[in-house]
Amino acid sequence: MRREPLILGGGPAGSAAAIALARGGARPLVLERTRERGDALCGGFLSWRTLAALERLGIAADTLNPARATRLRLFTRGRVVETSLPAPGLGVSRARLDALLLAHAERHGAAIERGVTVRALDGGAARTADGALLPADALFLASGKHDIRGTARPAAARGEDPALGLRTRRRGGGVEPLVGDAIELHLFDRGYAGVVVQEDGSANVCLAIRRSRLTEAGDPDRLLQALAAEVPAFGDRLAGDATAIEAIANVPYGWRARDGTDGCYRLGDQAAVIPSLAGEGMGIALASGVSAATAWLAGQRAAAWQARFARATARPVTVARTIRAIAERPTRFAPLLPLAARLGLIDAVAAATRIAQP
């Protein structure tokens, strides 16, 4: 007897898979570990292609945020470069994005169970924290940056000086008009920060920084102070009321799942972790969810799909990894930034780091 597919994680990748599966006649079950609507640590930027993918799933851009981000602004070492985005994007909190996607999946017929933590995958079944074993004909692994036992991404992917993700929000203090309709990138030694205004008017400040910089600073607050001294414009974005600093360790930027096992489709950050300065993490999440669901509905094996999706993500992830390596050395890169903008190289990078949406 056929068992309905099981989706582990209710973020954008899992919700996109659930919507596509339900539209295809399946009745997937989504297991989400959080009991309440959360707000995952994320840069919060959706590119123009990601917005088009959401529209195809039934999520209108204006329901996420009626304001648009139309410009890219780069800061480093006393230099500022601004250029128009190829097409408007927007800033949105993961709390709002995830809630709308999950609700849409439920309306299409997907079942959602919250507060269920999957500890391991065991022979084509998911083992939960309370010891239950949930079998399924297909597992869709959409746990984001959180690994599940038996499917952990290799430690070597983190590198000798792994990346940390840090996030805080700022409201008031003139931050919103400073950022305006731009997505900003502030480049530092061994890291960078993205800043964008989200639907509630707060500025989402999300950093990818090498662990060595946090070690040198001593704690996240002192790290922000050091970065503000390095790029004063970044310090201006830290004015106003602040939320607590959230962190996630050992983000394996640049890693891709190049092969897989039949019966398990790896989605989102479990399939490919694009450096966040590309602003295409959500695009990869949605593309993987829809593509994997379509493959399963067509009877295509998970291992073959995984290899194919790895090829599809090769160019955007590789380009973004190269740009990240350059951006983390601003002393060498900063003098070339104005020339890169004049030659259209920034637009070319933006285009090269998008993933084709199914």
Q: Examine residue 316 and state whether it is found in any structural domain, yes or no.
A: yes
To 5 degrees, how large is the angle CA 78–CA 84–CA 86?
Answer: 135
Is the distance from CB of 200 to CB of 191 less than 8 angstroms? no
Is the distance from CB of 204 to CB of 93 less than 8 angstroms? yes
* Chain segment 158-194, per-residue pLDDT in tens: 888 999 999 999 999 899 999 999 999 999 999 999 9
- Could you tell me the pTM of the whole model? 0.94
pLDDT band at 1; cut points 50, 70, 90: very low
Is the distance from CB of 166 to CB of 246 less than 8 angstroms? yes
Residue 138 sits in a domain of what CATH number?
3.50.50.60
The sign of the torsion formed by the CA atoms of 93, 95, 99, 101 equals positive
Helix ranges restricted to H, the chain: 12-23, 48-57, 61-64, 94-107, 175-179, 211-217, 220-230, 232-236, 281-297, 302-327, 330-333, 337-342, 345-352
Which residues constitute the domain of residue 320? 6-157+252-352
- CA atoms of 329 and 81, how far apart (whole Å): 17
* Chain segment 319-351, per-residue pLDDT in tens: 999 999 988 988 877 787 777 777 777 888 888
* Chain segment 136-157, per-residue pLDDT in tens: 889 999 999 888 887 888 887 7
Q: Examine residue 1 and state whether it is found in any structural domain, yes or no.
A: no
Q: Examine residue 217 and state whether it is found in any structural domain, yes or no.
A: no
Is the distance from CB of 255 to CB of 153 less than 8 angstroms? yes
Amino acid 89: pLDDT: 96
Tally of domains in the chain: 1
Q: Examine residue 135 and state whether it is found in any structural domain, yes or no.
A: yes
* Chain segment 74-84, per-residue pLDDT in tens: 998 888 999 99
Q: Examine residue 82 and state whether it is found in any structural domain, yes or no.
A: yes
- CA atoms of 201 and 92, how far apart (whole Å): 10
